[in-house]
Amino acid sequence: MISIDSRDPRPLYEQVVDGFRRLIVSGALRPDDRLPSVRSLATQLAINPNTIQRAYRELESLGYVYSAAGRGSFVAAADETGKLHRQELLERFDALVIELESAGCSREQLVARLEEGGAR
């Protein structure tokens, strides 16, 4: 399910967040699926439960999951997670466009690339 890479420079909670985001966006976790309990996931990953709790709070603030008091955390509705994923991709695209322009790529080249369907 989720794995931690000790060589990854990112904080552990970010690795957990990214792992769940990938599972949700790929459809491996479906709307209303229950996430593992904080304690069980902390034990499984051999990390502090507070780290898992922080990751779950972050996932909730991003709209990927929702919490039900006394019941746990669950995957949010697919339409919402799809919107979030598209927004994240567009933000990455915007950053890449800025980087390409600063590297000398013209807008015309970028538009032509899009119209061609990208690199294939």
Specify the pTM: 0.70
Dist CA 83 CA 63 (whole Å): 10
Q: What pLDDT digit, counting tens, does each position of 16-75 carry?
A: 999 999 999 888 999 999 999 999 999 999 999 999 999 999 999 888 999 998 899 999
Q: What pLDDT digit, counting tens, does each position of 1-16 carry?
A: 788 999 999 999 999 9
CA trace torsion 57, 59, 61, 63 (10° rounding): -150
Phi-psi region of 103 (alpha: psi -120 to 50; beta: other; left: phi over 0): alpha
Among 6, 32, 34, 1, CA closest to 18:
1
In one-letter notation, the amino acid at residue 50 is: N
Q: Own/partner pairs for 35-42, CB < 8 Å, 24+ apart?
A: 35/65, 35/72, 35/73, 35/74, 35/75, 36/1, 37/72, 41/2, 41/16
Residues listed for the chain: 120
The predicted structure's pLDDT at residue 26 = 85
Q: Under DSSP, is residue 55 helix (H, G, I), strand (E, B) or coil?
A: helix
